[in-house]
Structure 1
């Protein structure tokens, strides 16, 4: 069983799980917006998410302790390098607009980790702002990249979909913010640090209410609304039971599984029950 635990740990630590969640969130847009999402675009987003997340998580460690890296971290570095090479290959299949939007979103990822502000600060170190950066990048990836015509970015439907996924991701991040209370510096001024755990959870419920209201506005299919309602309730329950002493994979596996469950519900309602 130890090898199964090792594989699962690698699956989480190497950002495969979070990358599948981002891809799943993007694929849900196909059920709301008139877009076709190609396999090449899914692969591009999957590989770019792994590359970006692992850069943010491990670049600083690699820079400081390159010669004394743990074996599993070195494996993750090699895996990330292979994903980056694959990303470059998949980039050749994308339209110029996709590359430009990806580069725009990638800049936020880069500046999230690289110190470019006075006193060697990065975007993550700015008070309260990190959750909004993450939500912006996730929502932009899920909504903007699949568009065939980027002039639609400022259409009402696309902007509402962007807002819907923006507040959804903000709610999704809350269990992580509560988990990290024991580790985050007080200088970060995260939401739980500023307003407390109870009010942060309440804010998460407000985000989910906005998410559902926007689903009602956007969708014309009852099964899509039902899927969104199930996901909102599920995430609401996960937020309710979030704590500083949550289990190891409560947030990093179960919470991040929710976009994948949402996609499965949408797919199932369209293909199994019609």
Structure 2
């Protein structure tokens, strides 16, 4: 049991789980727009997410020399180095325009993490900015990059999907911010700090209703009406699941509530969509 717990902790602490969530959203985008499974984009997103999240989580502590070199952290450091190499490998398999887009989103991640100003303040400490930067970067990695790499012509459907994906990530982060309310610095001015937990949940509910409503206006080319109806039902089901997580979110929840269960939603979403496709074929 202790070994299984250590494996689970490494799986979460090394950002493999969140990397799989990003990979799942890339695959969903490719499936929705009939893009052949260009694994380079998905693998780049996976390894890049592992590197980015580990860098964000551990860089500040390491720079402040508050990070003890525990055994698991040393393993994570080696794993992150290997992930960086894999990210570079798949980067060079992307189309040139996709590489440029990836560099832009990498720049946003660096801005979010590193202090560029004399007072050593980074974007993570800019009041209320974190949730927007993170949401936009996820839209970039899981919507823009796969579509750029496949040279998909911009359409209204892409705009709607981008808004939906932004809302999805935004609401998921709201759950994280509610759970972390006790530990977050008051200067961060997270959404729950500014409007309270109750109003944060109401905001999340309203955004999820909007998320579902957008699906009624979306038109995916070359999809039959049966698929559209099933996909709409799946999107509503995902929104309901997120709503339940939002309802029961509070400051006393264990870390696995968000770091494992909430971050599992995109993975489960992909698995359900795969089953859906099997069902209509």
Report the TM-score, using the length of structure 2 for normalisation: 0.92
For residues 150 and 137 of structure 1, the distance between their equivalents in structure 2, rounded to whole angstroms, comes to 20
Distance 2:124 2:206 in 1: 24
Q: Secondary structure at the match of 1:218?
A: coil
Shift of 1:177: 0.3
Pairwise CA distance, 1:272: 3.4
Shift of 1:66: 8.1
Separation (CA, whole Å) in 2 of partners of 1:150 and 1:66: 45
Question: Which position in structure 1 is the counterpart of 2:229?
Answer: 222
**Structure 2 segments unaligned to the other structure (5+ residues):** 220-224
1: CA distance, partners of 2:87 / 2:190: 32
Tell which deviates more after alignment, 20-29 or 3-12.
20-29
Instruction: Give the corresponding residue for 1:62.
Output: 62
Cα deviation for residue 62 of structure 1 reads 2.2
Give the 4+ runs in structure 1 shifted more than 6 A.
Answer: none
Q: Deviations over 1:155-198 (max 9, x none)?
A: 32211111110011111111100011111111111100000000
Instruction: Answer whether contact 1:223 1:266 (CA < 8 A) is retained.
Output: no
2:153 maps to 152
Q: Distance in 1 between matches of 2:122 and 2:66?
A: 21
CA contact (8 A) 1:32 1:218 kept: no
Q: How many residues align?
A: 273
Contact 2:114 2:122 in 1 (8 A): yes
Give the alignment partner of residue 231 of structure 1, picking from 224, 233, 238.
238
Structure 1 pair 146–256 and aligned structure 2 pair: CA distance change class (3 A): same
Instruction: Report the counterpart of residue 250 of structure 1 in structure 2.
Output: 257
Report what 1:19 is aligned to.
Answer: 19
Q: Would the aligned equivalents of 1:175 and 1:251 in 2 still touch at CA under 8 Å?
A: yes
Contact 2:15 2:54 in 1 (8 A): yes
Stretches of structure 1 that go unaligned for 5 or more consecutive residues are: none
Q: What residue is the counterpart of 2:204 in the other structure?
A: 204
Query: Once superposed, what is the RMSD of the aligned Cα atoms?
Result: 1.7
How far apart are the structure 1 equivalents of 2:217 and 2:87? 36
Q: How many Å separate the matches in 1 of 2:117 and 2:166? A: 26
Per mean C-alpha deviation after superposition, the further-off stretch among 122-131 and 155-164 is 155-164
Deviations 1:130-179 (A, max 9, x none): 011111011111111111465735x3221111111001111111110001
Which secondary structure state, in structure 2, belongs to the residue aligned with residue 245 of structure 1? coil
1:252-267 to 2 correspondences below 5 Å: 252-267=259-274
Once the two structures are TM-superposed, the CA of residue 254 in structure 1 deviates from its matched residue by: 0.5
Tell me how far 1:33 sits from its aligned partner. Answer: 2.4
Q: Which segment drifts farther, 33-42 or 20-29?
A: 33-42
Measured in 2, the distance between the counterparts of 1:151 and 1:2 equals: 48
